[in-house]
Structure 1
Amino acid sequence: MSSRPLLLAAALAALSLPLSAAADEAAFASCLAKLRGEAAAKGVHGETFDTHTAALAPDMAVIGFLDAQPEFVTPIWDYLAALVDEERVADGRAMLTQWNEVLAEVERRYGVDAETVVAVWGVESNYGRNFGSRPLLTSLSTLSCFGRRQAFFRGEFFTTLKILQEGHVAPERLTGSWAGAFGHTQFMPSTFMRLAVDFDGDGRRDLIDSVPDALASTANFLARAGWRSDLRWGFEVRLPRGMDTADAGRRNKQPMAEWAARGVRRADGSALPAAGAPAGLMLPAGREGPAFLVTRNFDALYSYNAAESYGLAIAHLSDRLRGGAPFATAWPTDDPGLSRAERRELQRLLIARGHDIGEPDGMIGARTREALQREQAALGLPADGRAGQRALQALRAAAR
C-alpha cells in the first residue's frame, strides 16, 4: 500500500489543531466585541473593558472542567480523606491560635464561630496556600463565550472587570480557580461584590492579601445564608436496623423528637437531644455508610458551594478543630481514600520504581494515574489508576 495517503492524513491531522485554535480565537474576538456593549450596560467603563481585554486569548481547557468538578465525580471517601486529614487539622489549629484576636472579633460581629470560619479557609485554599493560578479574566471570558452556562459566567466576567475598575485588587493578583473563585476563601466575583467586607479598615475589600478581610467576609456570607450561632451544623447518628430511609434528605427536616421516636441515636449510642431544631437525615454514601442529622446551619455551608460532600468536609473539619473524632461509621468501601501524606508516599514509591511524575506533591494528576495504572497491572491489581489504600499497600509491599 502506498504511504502517500497516510502521509496526507497525518499532515491534515497536524493542521487541524492550529486551524481549530485559530477558529476559537476568531470566535472569541467576535464574542468579546459583542460583550463590550453588554458590559457597559452593567457599569463597566469602555476604558476598563478595553484595557483588561486587549491581550486576552481563550483558554479552552476550562471548558472541560465544567462537567468534572471533584465534589460531584470523586467518591466521597476519597474527597474527605484528602480534605480532612491530620495535616489540615493541625494547620487549622495553628491558624486558630495565630488569628485568635481577629476571629474573636469576627465571631462577635457576625455570630459565626472561629472553627467554622477556619474550616472554610482550610477547605477552600489550604489556609492561603492554594489560591489557584488561572487568570480570572482569561477563564471567565472563555466561559462567557464557549460551553454551557455562558449567561452565568458573563455576569461573573463583568463583575470581575468592576472589581478591577473599583481598585479592590491589582490585576496581576487576580488569579484563582478555573471557574473564577479567588482569594483565601475563594469567593466568586459576584459574591465578592455582595458580601466581601473591609475588616482591616484599609479602604479596600481584599480577599487575596488580607486574611482579616477574607475571614470576616466568609463569616458575613454564612450569616447572610442563615447561620445561627446557637445551633450546630448537625452530627453523626446511628440508625436502627430496618429503619425506612425513603424520606432521607437534607431538605426533608423533621423535629428532633420525631427522629428519636424512630430509634435514631447519636453515633456514640447516646440519645438525641430532647429538643432541638428540625434536622434532615443525610446519607451521602447510602444506608450502609455514615449517617447524619443536619440542621439549617449545614444548609448555610452547602450554599457556599452547592455539594453535600463539600458541606460535609467543612462541617467535619470544624468538628475536628474543636477536638472531635473521625466519623464512627466506616465508609462502605474496601478501598478507602488516602490522606495527602499518603498520596505523597504513593508518589515517592512510584518515583522509586522509575516513573517520571514530577515532585511528590499529593496531587493525583494524569502522570501519577498513568504510572499507577502500569504498576497496578504489574502487581496484579485492576489497572484503574485509582490512588487508594489498596494500591498504596501493594506498592509498600513491593518496596519491601
Structure 2
Amino acid sequence: MTKWFTALAFLSGLFFLPDAAGEEKTEEGFSQYVAKLKAEAVEQGFDASFIERTLENIEFRATVIRSDRNQPERKITLDSYLASRVPDWKVQQAVEKLNEHKVLLDEIGAKYGVQPRFIVALWGNESNFGRIQGNYDVLSALASLAYEGRRETLFKRNFFAALTILSEGHASVDTFKGSWAGAMGQSQFMPVSFLQYAVDYNGDGKKDIWGTPADVFASIANYLSSEGWSDDITWGRQVKLTQSVEAFGLSSTLFKPLAHWHAQGVTRYNGAPLPTNDINASLIMPDGDKGRIYLVYQNFHTLMKWNRSQYFGVSVGYLSDRIKKGF
C-alpha cells in the first residue's frame, strides 16, 4: 500500500502519534498497553510462558494507525474501480487458476455448495491468487490499532483471536504476516473470521490459509456457505430501466421477484426481457441512476457480509462472470 507521508513524518511517527483527541501515542505508552494485553491474555487462559515468547518482539507500528486514519476518501466511479480491480490480465489468470485447480475446486464446490468461479474470484480479488498477502506483523498491527483506541474492542478481539491461532499451531509467530489491518493469508481473513470459518481441508492438522490451496479454497467456500450462499443461483446482473428511477424502490434490502421488476420495465442490459426464473432480487445503483444498475440476488448480500462495499461485491460478481465466459 502506498504511503503518502514524507520521510520526516514517518520517522517522527515511529516515536509518537497524536490520537483523535490530541493525546500522543508513544512507544512507552504502547509498552504499557502491551503489558495490559499480556495480563488479560493470561486471565483468558493463555499460558504465561507462551504469551511472553509470542509477544517478545511485538512493536508499535504508527504506520498502521496512519493507514487506518487516512483511508482514501476520494470518490471513484464503479467503472474506474472495476477497471482497476478486474483488469484483463487478472481475468486471464483467474481462468488459468480455475483450470489448474479444477479437480480440487469442483470437489470443494460440491461439498460446500459454492460455484468454483466465485471461490477463484474472491481469491483473486483478495490476494491476487495468493501473491499479495501483506508484510505486516499481525500481532504488532492489531495491538497498535487497539492501542490507538477508536476501535479498541474490535482490534482486541482480533488480537486475542490471533493468539489462539498461534497457540493452536496453525501458523508460526516468525512468519505471521498480513495486511496493515491484520487480515491474513490468501483469503485475507481477519483472525476472528479465521477461527469461525477456516478449514483444514487436507487433514494435516493446520488450517493453512497462507500456503495450502485446499485449505484456502475450502475456507472461502465455508465462509460463503455458512453465510447463506446458494449454488442454485448466481449473484445478479446488470440491467436497464425503462422509466424514471423515482418509480422504483431503491432499498437494497427490498427483495421482489424478477416478475415484479419485469412488470416495472426493468430489462437485461442488452434490452432483452429478464429471465422468468422464480428468483427474488433487489435493485442497486452504486453510482446513482447515471451509473451501472444491477438486480442482485441473495448471493450478492452474502458477498456484502464478506466486505460491506457494493463496489467490492460487484467486482467479485463481475470477475466471476468473466471467468464463466472463459475470458
TM-score computed with the length of structure 2 as normaliser: 0.89
**Greater Cα shift, 265-274 or 134-143:** 265-274
User: Could you tell me how far apart the structure 1 residues matched to 2:266 and 2:222 are?
Assistant: 34
Q: 2:16 is paired with a residue of what secondary structure?
A: helix
Indicate if the aligned counterparts of 1:235 and 1:292 stay in contact, CA closer than 8 A: yes
1:316 aligns with one of 289, 308, 318: 318
Tell me, which stretches of 5 or more residues in structure 2 are unaligned? 1-8, 18-23
2:16 pairs with 1:20: yes
User: Could you tell me how far apart the structure 2 residues matched to 1:137 and 1:231 are?
Assistant: 39
Indicate if the aligned counterparts of 1:70 and 1:79 stay in contact, CA closer than 8 A: no
Q: Compute the displacement of 1:59 (Å).
A: 0.5
Query: Against the structure 1 CA distance between its residues 135 and 38, is the aligned structure 2 distance closer, same or farther, given a 3 Å change threshold?
Result: same
User: Could you tell me how far apart the structure 2 residues matched to 1:71 and 1:114 are?
Assistant: 34
Q: How does 1:53-202 map to 2 (within 5 A)?
A: 53-69=55-71, 74-202=76-204
Query: Against the structure 1 CA distance between its residues 245 and 317, is the aligned structure 2 distance closer, same or farther, given a 3 Å change threshold?
Result: farther
Write out per-residue CA displacement over residues 82-135 of structure 1, whole angstroms, 9 at most, x where no aligned residue: 111100000000101110111011011001011000000000000011111111
Query: Against the structure 1 CA distance between its residues 51 and 231, is the aligned structure 2 distance closer, same or farther, given a 3 Å change threshold?
Result: same
Query: Against the structure 1 CA distance between its residues 306 and 197, is the aligned structure 2 distance closer, same or farther, given a 3 Å change threshold?
Result: same
Q: Compute the displacement of 1:48 (Å).
A: 2.1
Query: Against the structure 1 CA distance between its residues 70 and 225, is the aligned structure 2 distance closer, same or farther, given a 3 Å change threshold?
Result: farther
Q: 1:39 corresponds to which residue? A: 41
Q: 1:297 is paired with a residue of what secondary structure?
A: helix
Q: Compute the displacement of 1:316 (Å).
A: 0.5
User: Could you tell me how far apart the structure 1 residues matched to 2:181 and 2:312 are?
Assistant: 16
Query: Against the structure 1 CA distance between its residues 69 and 324, is the aligned structure 2 distance closer, same or farther, given a 3 Å change threshold?
Result: farther
Q: Compute the displacement of 1:173 (Å).
A: 2.2
Indicate if the aligned counterparts of 1:28 and 1:142 stay in contact, CA closer than 8 A: yes
More strand by proportion, 1 or 2?
Answer: 2
Q: Compute the displacement of 1:273 (Å).
A: 2.0
Q: Compute the displacement of 1:269 (Å).
A: 1.2
Q: 2:53 is paired with a residue of what secondary structure?
A: helix
Write out per-residue CA displacement over residues 176-234 of structure 1, whole angstroms, 9 at most, x where no aligned residue: 11111111111111111111111112111100010110011000000001001101111
Q: How does 1:240-319 map to 2 (within 5 A)?
A: 240-244=242-246, 247-319=249-321
Write out per-residue CA displacement over residues 272-301 of structure 1, whole angstroms, 9 at most, x where no aligned residue: 122322111010111011100001100111
Query: Against the structure 1 CA distance between its residues 16 and 317, is the aligned structure 2 distance closer, same or farther, given a 3 Å change threshold?
Result: closer
Tell me, which stretches of 5 or more residues in structure 1 are unaligned? 1-12, 326-400
Q: 1:320 is paired with a residue of what secondary structure?
A: helix
User: Could you tell me how far apart the structure 1 residues matched to 2:14 and 2:289 are?
Assistant: 51
Query: Against the structure 1 CA distance between its residues 171 and 18, is the aligned structure 2 distance closer, same or farther, given a 3 Å change threshold?
Result: closer
Indicate if the aligned counterparts of 2:127 and 2:188 stay in contact, CA closer than 8 A: yes
TM-score computed with the length of structure 1 as normaliser: 0.74
> Which letter maps to 2:202?
D
Query: Against the structure 1 CA distance between its residues 266 and 60, is the aligned structure 2 distance closer, same or farther, given a 3 Å change threshold?
Result: same
User: Could you tell me how far apart the structure 2 residues matched to 1:37 and 1:162 are?
Assistant: 15
Write out per-residue CA displacement over residues 22-56 of structure 1, whole angstroms, 9 at most, x where no aligned residue: 96111101111112232234343222221122221
User: Could you tell me how far apart the structure 2 residues matched to 1:224 and 1:19 are?
Assistant: 43
Indicate if the aligned counterparts of 1:182 and 1:208 stay in contact, CA closer than 8 A: yes
Q: 1:375 corresponds to which residue? A: none
> Which letter maps to 2:44?
K
Query: Against the structure 1 CA distance between its residues 72 and 112, is the aligned structure 2 distance closer, same or farther, given a 3 Å change threshold?
Result: farther
Q: Which has the larger radius of gyration?
A: 1
The higher-RCO structure (CA 8 Å, 6+ apart) is 2
Q: 2:280 is paired with a residue of what secondary structure?
A: coil
Indicate if the aligned counterparts of 1:63 and 1:147 stay in contact, CA closer than 8 A: no
Query: Against the structure 1 CA distance between its residues 43 and 235, is the aligned structure 2 distance closer, same or farther, given a 3 Å change threshold?
Result: farther
**Greater Cα shift, 130-139 or 166-175:** 166-175
Q: 1:372 corresponds to which residue? A: none
Q: 1:236 is paired with a residue of what secondary structure?
A: strand
Write out per-residue CA displacement over residues 347-394 of structure 1, whole angstroms, 9 at most, x where no aligned residue: xxxxxxxxxxxxxxxxxxxxxxxxxxxxxxxxxxxxxxxxxxxxxxxx
Indicate if the aligned counterparts of 1:71 and 1:310 stay in contact, CA closer than 8 A: no
> Which letter maps to 1:179?
A
- The alignment-based identity, stated in percent, is 36
Indicate if the aligned counterparts of 2:86 and 2:315 stay in contact, CA closer than 8 A: yes
Q: 1:244 is paired with a residue of what secondary structure?
A: helix
Cα RMSD after superposing both structures? 2.2
User: Could you tell me how far apart the structure 1 residues matched to 2:174 and 2:167 are?
Assistant: 14
**Greater Cα shift, 18-27 or 187-196:** 18-27
Query: Against the structure 1 CA distance between its residues 61 and 74, is the aligned structure 2 distance closer, same or farther, given a 3 Å change threshold?
Result: farther
